[in-house]
Amino acid sequence: MKVVLIGDSSVGKSALVYRFINNSLLADPKATVGISFFKQTLMDPLMNQQYPLQIWDTAGQEKFQSVTTHHYRAADGALLVFDIANERSFQSLDKWLAELRENTDPSVVVALVGTKADLSAQRAVSTERAQGYARRNGLLYVETSAYWNKYEGAEKDLAVGVEQIFLRLVRGIIQTQKELGRNPARLDMSGYPEAINLEEEGRRRDNDCAC
């Protein structure tokens, strides 16, 4: 299964992935310059089933968006990430969601993720507002913090660790794939790089342009 993380720069996408992979805090978080690619197997304890994931952590800077959208294709699920203490990151959600839906299959499952839930005293976006946005757009909604243990929270909690976020997303993907008569384990995880340099890729595309 291919999962992409999208959202503004500095909302904590890379920190969430690092917590999911290593269950520890990213020591020196920096803006992703390019696309980082990870492989991780997720265990669903209810189904006693393992699911291999391809996780694509995309750059949030505007200058990379024309290239990053190319890598949305074939995504089965997406985490649309904003910072609950940053109003601007919430205002950007429409743009990110539109770009995702323009470049993916209509069946893609999307979870809206409010990060930095440990900063509740600095909250700029209320839970109710975020839940309303998720309902209007047919998204799952959860809140989390990269500071929390990845196993934090239970099945129906709103604020959970990142493991529970991926688990809920994967269950949504499985359900959608089954309804469409598809095999959710169809993707081959071999042959992907660990990172893609978007500046180099952008220059290569410009050089290849025949216009």
Backbone angles phi, psi at 160, to 5 degrees: -140, 165
Averaged pLDDT for residues 101-106:
94
CATH class of domain segment(s) 2-208? alpha beta
pLDDT exceeds cutoff 90 at 171: yes
Q: Supply 41's token pair.
A: 């197997």
What are the residue ranges spanned by the domains of the chain?
2-208
Averaged pLDDT for residues 164-170:
97
Q: List strand residue ranges (DSSP E) for 23-72, in order.
A: 35-44, 49-58
DSSP state of 159: B
Inter-CA distances, 20 with 6, 23, 25, 43, 201, Å: 16, 6, 10, 12, 28
pLDDT for residue 211: 41
pTM for the structure as a whole? 0.85
User: 13-22 and 162-179 helices cross at what angle (nearest 10)?
Assistant: 90
194-208 pLDDT, tens digit per residue, is 444 444 444 444 455
Torsion on CA atoms 99, 102, 103, 105, rounded to nearest 10 = 130
Rounded to the nearest integer, the mean pLDDT of the chain is 85
Q: Supply 29's token pair.
A: 């978080």
